[in-house]
Amino acid sequence: MSLKNSKIIVIKIGSSLLVDENKKIKRKWLSSFAKDIKDLRDKNKKVIIVSSGAIALGCIKMNFIKKNLKLDKSQAIASIGQIELMNLFSDTFSKYKLNISQILLTLEDTEERRRSLNAKRTFENLFGLDFIPIVNENDTIATSEIKYGDNDRLASRVAQITNADILILLSDVSGLYSKNPKLFKDAKLIKRVENFNKDLKDINFKGMNEFGSGGMNTKIEAAKICQLSGCDMIISNGLYLNPIKRIIQKNEYTIFKSKVSKLDARKKWIISSVSPKGELIIDDGAKKALKDSKSLLAAGIKKVNGNFKKGDHIRILDKSNKECARGLCSFSSDEIKKILGCHSRKIEKILGYITKSEVVHKDDMVEV
């Protein structure tokens, strides 16, 4: 799926694209970006923007230094800066007759099935009303335990929820290199990634974490979520004016090609979870059953890791701790500890009440 053929496009921009090193807002850049969005909209493309910058703009308004902020203060600054951010977008985009709206998401909004469907419907309604959603993490209430931590993964989850065709991460580098291009002159730009294990095996990621707040590792994680969701992803240099037009005109970026996804929307959501609540270690017999598309039963479970409730996302690992599946668990971790290794017909007697026989039903599970 090329950018020209994409119908739904998610674009992520970082704080460094909106604010320069001298804490000056880059209005000229944002105006050129708005022109790019206008061009996409004129071609009947649906666009979602995931934008950082609330804390950075809040710091400018309050004359604070970002690195000195503690969590509770940064949440307050994010609240102040979010208005500045939306006013900045509104003032700039209105000059191109583009309507914008605001969506603030927390991790749980995408991890909980019902809430993710609500978010999807909101995006669809905004498209119908001819508005461009501007998405940010809800930093004002997010704690370290319920944070994405970076907007790369947030953007990938937004792309997955909305069934986007492509996600564009505008970075401060032109893409993924064989090594850090700021340190090594012989670093080569990798133009295309299809197989993560094969195409990335010779890359030295050490020292690449200076690329944006999330670093290159979070961009790779975002690409994996996109690939499993049937969505392509591009990393491109956003520091230039008209950065989207530049992607179309110049072949200077990294594209991560998606696998053709045969998963339905529910299973896409399961496999894309960024915060599984626990793990089940299974024996070889259970592993074979999973490969034969069967449900996971208590008899094949050897160990439980973590504390989780019925309905939570969990990882399923083999005896070597290699992940073989993910799913939604039909039992809590406490219940599984009581029934692991037991035959299904004994579950009711052990727990004292009637339950399902499958710990993870095949319809709620996706092989990795």
% of the chain beyond a pLDDT of 90: 55
- Shared-domain flag, residues 92 and 212: yes
List the beta bridge partners of residue 137.
Answer: 105
- Shared-domain flag, residues 52 and 72: yes
Residue 1: inside a domain = no
Q: Which pair of structure tokens corresponds to residue 346?
A: 């004994």
- Could you tell me the residue range of the domain that residue 284 belongs to? 276-367
Q: Which pair of structure tokens corresponds to residue 260?
A: 């053709």
Residue 218: inside a domain = yes
The letter for the amino acid at 51 is S
Residue 3: inside a domain = no
Residue 211 to residue 16: CA distance in whole angstroms: 10
Residue 65: inside a domain = yes
- Shared-domain flag, residues 264 and 284: no
SS3 content of the chain, % helix, strand, coil (to 5): 40, 20, 40
- Shared-domain flag, residues 290 and 231: no
Number of separate domains in the chain? 2
Q: Residue 17's pLDDT band (boundaries 50, 70, 90)?
A: very high
Q: Mean pLDDT across the chain, nearest whole number?
A: 87
Output the domain CATH number for residue 64: 3.40.1160.10
- Per-residue buried b or exposed e for 26-42, using 16+ beta carbons within 10 Å of the residue's own CB: beebbbbbbbbbeebbe
Question: Angle at Cα 43 formed by Cα 39 and Cα 48, nearest 5°?
Answer: 70
Whether residue 253 has pLDDT greater than 70: yes
Q: Which pair of structure tokens corresponds to residue 61?
A: 């308004």
Output the domain CATH number for residue 360: 2.30.130.10
32 in Cβ contact with 189 (< 8 Å) = no
211 in Cβ contact with 172 (< 8 Å) = yes
- Shared-domain flag, residues 223 and 341: no
Prediction pTM value: 0.78
Residue-wise pLDDT for 259-317, tens only, equals: 766 567 678 778 777 788 999 999 999 999 999 999 999 999 999 999 999 888 999 99
Q: What is the DSSP string of 237-283?
A: E-SSSSHHHHHHH---SEEEPPP-----HHHHHHHT-S---EEEEE-
Average pLDDT value for residue range 328-333: 93
Residue 159 to residue 261: CA distance in whole angstroms: 14
Whether residue 347 has pLDDT greater than 70: yes
Chosen domain end from 211, 243, 268: 268
Whether residue 147 has pLDDT greater than 80: no
Residue 106: inside a domain = yes
Q: Tell how far CA 325 is from the center of its chain.
A: 19
Q: Residue 209's pLDDT band (boundaries 50, 70, 90)?
A: very low
* pLDDT attached to residue 206: 58
- Shared-domain flag, residues 202 and 310: no
- Shared-domain flag, residues 322 and 263: no
Residue 72 to residue 154: CA distance in whole angstroms: 21
Average pLDDT value for residue range 1-26: 89
- Shared-domain flag, residues 63 and 93: yes
% of the chain beyond a pLDDT of 70: 92
- Shared-domain flag, residues 309 and 340: yes
Chosen domain end from 268, 289, 324: 268
* pLDDT attached to residue 182: 77
Whether residue 80 has pLDDT greater than 70: yes
Residue 2: inside a domain = no
- Shared-domain flag, residues 208 and 353: no
Q: What is the DSSP string of 309-331?
A: -TT-EEEEE-TTS-EEEEEE-SS
Residue 130: inside a domain = yes
User: Edge-to-edge, what's the strand order for the sheet holding 254-256?
Assistant: 99-105, 131-137, 46-51, 8-13, 166-171, 232-237, 254-256, 192-193
More confident residue, 2 or 217: 217
Residue 347 is given by DSSP the state: H
* pLDDT attached to residue 141: 62
- Shared-domain flag, residues 304 and 167: no
Could you tell me which of 12, 215, 80, 84 has the C-alpha nearest to residue 69? 80
Q: Tell how far CA 25 is from the center of its chain.
A: 27
Residue 256: inside a domain = yes
- Shared-domain flag, residues 263 and 356: no
The letter for the amino acid at 10 is V
Q: Residue 143's pLDDT band (boundaries 50, 70, 90)?
A: low
Chosen domain end from 268, 284, 314: 268
Q: Residue 131's pLDDT band (boundaries 50, 70, 90)?
A: very high
Whether residue 211 has pLDDT greater than 70: no
Could you tell me which of 56, 69, 66 has the C-alpha nearest to residue 19? 56
Q: Work out whether strand 232-237 and strand 254-256 pair parallel, antiparallel, or are unpaired.
A: antiparallel
